[in-house]
Amino acid sequence: MLVLQEIRENREKVIEALKKRNLDAEGLVNSILDADSIRRAIQTDLDNIRNEANLIGKQVGALQREGKRNEAQELMNKSAALKERIKELTEQLKEAEIQLRDILLTVPNAPAGSVKPGKSAEDNEVVAQWGEPLQLPDDAKPHWDIARELDIIDFELGVKVTGSGFPVYKGKGARLQRALIQYFLDYNTRAGYLEVQPPHFVNEASGFGTGQLPDKEGQMYYIERDGLYAIPTAEVPVTNFFRDVILSENELPQKLTAYTPCFRREAGSYGAHVRGLNRLHQFDKVEIVVISHPEDSYRILEEMVDHVAGLLQSLKLPYRILRLCGGDMGFASAMTYDFEVWSAAQKRWLEVSSVSNFETFQANRLQLRFKDSNGKNRLCHTLNGSSLALPRVVAALLENNFDGNRVKLPEIVAQYAGFDSI
């Protein structure tokens, strides 16, 4: 959630930033400031009347001690009227605060200064590329055919047990999943990330804290009886570890990594682009999360990008890095880099990681703060990234390393899996 004081003090700057998302930025900001003006006017009236009521209370006591009962009674009658007015204004203030909050919740994060305006993925900027994309003939087997031929992933069995988007990994396919998870976690912990194992379900407050609610409730699986949501990513529970926490400045940054299954309804997804492992309702992912000092967050963002790049290079997968335009960024992000690996048989790029800086947007919802050297409580910056999401990594590994008979695994993966080919 945007910081209200920032909107008040930097109205034009916020409007220009939000325009990058193709929004009616001026209308949104004006609606926020109008609602805030109404709220502040009610608060001022309420404070004035409370002060008047307190003063009358003192005067009544003095008059009663002096035996001036009639004068005291007149003031008591006035005090009773003020109390009724205080009650009315308190209700009005509550309604004004709810209205202001409801408007703020509809407004996405303001993109950072270097983020370019744009409408969709076509306007994203390729900022780096590594490796030469493998060129295969048009009849090259896609990963779903390779997996079926090698009997390592059973898509039909998953449909039988649950439904589409829930594959079953078998034999070396299951071992490959386990090996990749272990390698990704080890890679992250060697870089200073603390491994944690969070819950796979969260309450509404946690979904709100990281911005999934109320923006993405339709994309999350919900258990109505218990009021719990299946997590779409480890970002949600891990970042919420710090909800309502005040850190000391020397405790920053906090760096954590976690493996979890991820659950996404992906409502409305259909077509060839969702075949096989391209888009699933349940998948495995290793996440990195950082809680940062505001002055360090963009340096840390670049470090996280370099970290994910090194991981993909160790897998020998050609990739490219995109800096997303304002129109393609997530609701809570101030800046996002996407990593895409080359799918040789599908002849297209597949996203395997997003690395984002949310600045104070999540921290404001979470009330996640730190105490600076002057003793002042300030909002932290939050960041996260996929390191990595498994399905499309596996898809690229299968397609890029299949020779017609077997899949040759990259050396580091073979070390963790205990076999060098499938």
Q: 97 and 8, same structural domain?
A: yes
Q: How far is CA 146 from CA 120, 155, 258, 342, 410, in A?
A: 32, 12, 30, 16, 17
Q: 154 and 94, same structural domain?
A: no
Known binding-site residues for ATP equal 264-266, 351-354
pLDDT computed for residue 267 by the predictor: 57
Q: 139 and 92, same structural domain?
A: no
Q: 76 and 45, same structural domain?
A: yes
Closest Cα to residue 286, out of 417, 413, 178?
178
pLDDT digits (tens, 9 = 90+) for 13-41: 999 999 999 999 999 999 999 999 999 99
Is residue 110 one of the residues assigned to a domain? Answer: no
Q: 238 and 197, same structural domain?
A: yes
Is residue 18 one of the residues assigned to a domain? Answer: yes
Is residue 334 one of the residues assigned to a domain? Answer: yes
260 half-sphere exposure, CB direction, 13 A CA radius: 25
pLDDT-flagged residues of the chain (< 50): none
Is residue 246 one of the residues assigned to a domain? Answer: yes
Q: 361 and 217, same structural domain?
A: yes
Domain of residue 83, residue span: 4-105
Is residue 113 one of the residues assigned to a domain? Answer: no
Beta sheet of 335-343, edge-to-edge order:
125-130, 319-323, 335-343, 348-357, 381-389, 282-292, 254-263, 194-195
CATH number at residue 85: 1.10.287.40
Q: 281 and 218, same structural domain?
A: yes
Give me the residue label for tokens 């008591």. Answer: 76
Q: 401 and 316, same structural domain?
A: yes
Q: 307 and 180, same structural domain?
A: yes
Is residue 143 one of the residues assigned to a domain? Answer: yes
Of 105, 136, 160, which one is at a domain's C-terminal end? 105
Is residue 237 one of the residues assigned to a domain? Answer: yes
Helix ranges (DSSP H) in 170-252: 172-190, 204-209, 235-240
Structure tokens at 101: 């909050």
Q: How many domains does the chain have?
A: 2
**Residue environment code for 27-66, b if the CB has 16+ CB neighbours within 10 A, otherwise e:** ebbebbbebbebbeebeeebeebbeebeeeeebbeebeee
DSSP state, residue 337 = E
Q: 296 and 350, same structural domain?
A: yes
Structure tokens at 368: 């996640």
Q: 246 and 285, same structural domain?
A: yes
Known binding-site residues for L-serine equal 233, 264, 287, 384
Known binding-site residues equal 233, 264-266, 287, 351-354, 384
CATH number at residue 190: 3.30.930.10
Of 81, 105, 129, which one is at a domain's C-terminal end? 105
Spatial neighbors of 211 by CB under 8 A, at least 6 apart, are: 330, 331, 332, 358, 361, 362, 365
Structure tokens at 20: 């990058």
pLDDT computed for residue 169 by the predictor: 98
DSSP state, residue 23 = S
Element containing residue 303 per DSSP (H, E): helix 297-314
Q: 136 and 95, same structural domain?
A: no
Of 62, 79, 105, which one is at a domain's C-terminal end? 105
pLDDT digits (tens, 9 = 90+) for 361-400: 999 999 999 999 999 999 999 999 999 999 999 999 999 9
Is residue 114 one of the residues assigned to a domain? Answer: no
